[in-house]
Amino acid sequence: MEQVRAAITAVGHFLPEDRLTNADLEKMVETSDEWIQSRTGIKERRILKDPTKATSFMATNAAQEVLRKRGISAEELDLVIVATVTPDMFFPATACLVTANLGAVNAWGYDISAACSGFLFALSTGARFIESGKHTKVLVIGADKMSSIVDYTDRTTCVLFGDGAGAVLLEPDSSGHGVIDSIEHTDGTQWSSLCMLGGGSLNPPSAATLEARMHYLHQEGAPVFKSAVKGMADVSAQIMEDNNLSGDDVRYLVPHQANLRIIDATARRMGISMDKVMLNIERYGNTTAATIPLCLADWEADLKKGDNLVLAAFGGGFTWGAAYVKWAYDGSNHV
């Protein structure tokens, strides 16, 4: 009998309605549409403007879409994992708030903090609970309200990020579909090139941390860019080699959407053309843990049972990884 694997059986998403365009940013900082598009590929991002709503709100909406599409109730969920670096608060975990919002009374849940690799790390973790036989319905969510930690006076970062959430349901599959393989990496030696210094136990909130703008995301773009190009391309090539996949075998690369140039370098290294790359950075910017499930949601109708997908990400930590997923259903039946 085939090994039990964790198949993605439904996808959901949530995007706030408000758009922040490059033209809007031109009025806020010294930048230009031409600079942003040529360096990153981004035209606009979505922003959750309502100050009373946070990451759990977006995550809950994405999760509800998953439940609706799959036709199951929240009571059937065993586990909810939320990948985020913008939790509603330090604790309780955003997953606790989401299970409460959903009415997932039989599920336990927790958050994973792995920045832009968060969804991949959560997918890999959730898959283990399915493969082991412990659970049969695991909800994996990537959600970030990046606008809550972006400094809109810093032109080097404020043009990059947006808000959003995406979610997938994992269920057991014994017919060769699901998460076939994954590779995860962490290297903390360069942590300070992408971080938020204030608010934790090292620099608790104070007048001094506020004054020093330590409660905003900080990024040194060039070193992160260099490591991201290498990390994402290497790990994607590795997962293809480990699973004897050629460029022709891959239906889609599903890359974290941080920068079009990083994605382009990864696709070239994998030997696949850009028409086989899921790309929505132009419309949403970098939504951190949400980028990969947002791509899956946008392309769901086009996906066929048996399609080979390579998911890949690189982010703060540094964290990076890839997953080889054999798609488990015809998406057109599900939308």
- Scan for tokens 């509800």, then name that residue: 64
Tell me how many residues contact ligand ACO (CB under 6 A): 24
- Scan for tokens 């962490």, then name that residue: 186
Taking the complex as a whole, how short is the minimal distance between the CB of residue 21 and ligand ACO, in angstroms? 14
List 15, 77, 81, 116, residue binding ligand ACO (CB under 6 A): 116
Stretch that binds ligand ACO, among 105-113, 182-190, 218-226, 295-303 (CB under 6 A): 218-226
Measured from the CB atom, is 19 or 334 closer to ligand ACO? 19
Taking CB under 6 A as the rule, does residue 207 contact ligand ACO? Answer: no
List 166, 198, 255, 316, residue binding ligand ACO (CB under 6 A): 316
CA dist., res. 145 & res. 84, Å (int): 9
With residue 184 as reference, give the H or E element that holds it: strand 178-186
Amino acid residing at 279? L
Peptide bond into 318 cis (omega under 30): yes
Taking the complex as a whole, how short is the minimal distance between the CB of residue 25 and ligand ACO, in angstroms? 7
- Is residue 116 annotated as part of the catalytic site, yes or no? yes
Taking CB under 6 A as the rule, does residue 236 contact ligand ACO? Answer: no
| Encoded tokens for 129 | 């609970």
Cβ distance 212 to 196 under 8 Å?
Answer: no
- Is residue 256 annotated as part of the catalytic site, yes or no? yes
The active-site residue out of 96, 116, 195, 295 is: 116
List 288, 296, 320, 327, residue binding ligand ACO (CB under 6 A): 288
Taking CB under 6 A as the rule, does residue 57 contact ligand ACO? Answer: no
CA dist., res. 85 & res. 316, Å (int): 10
Binding to ligand ACO by CB under 6 A, coded x per residue (else -) over 158-187, reads -x----------------------------
CA dist., res. 16 & res. 241, Å (int): 39
List 216, 225, 299, 327, residue binding ligand ACO (CB under 6 A): 225
Q: Which of residues 4-43 bind ligand ACO (CB under 6 A)?
A: 31, 35-36, 39-40
Q: Which of 117, 140, 147 is nearest to 256 (CA)?
A: 117
Taking CB under 6 A as the rule, does residue 284 contact ligand ACO? Answer: no
Measured CA to CA in angstroms, residue 38 lies from 32, 34, 212, 259, 282 at distances of 10, 6, 31, 10, 11
| Encoded tokens for 15 | 């995007």
Measured CA to CA in angstroms, residue 52 lies from 35, 49, 113, 260 at distances of 33, 9, 23, 33
Measured from the CB atom, is 15 or 159 closer to ligand ACO? 159
- Residues near ligand ACO, by CB under 6 A: 31, 35-36, 39-40, 115-116, 155-156, 159, 194, 221-222, 224-225, 228, 258-259, 262, 286, 288, 314-316
Give the active site residues.
Answer: 116, 256, 286
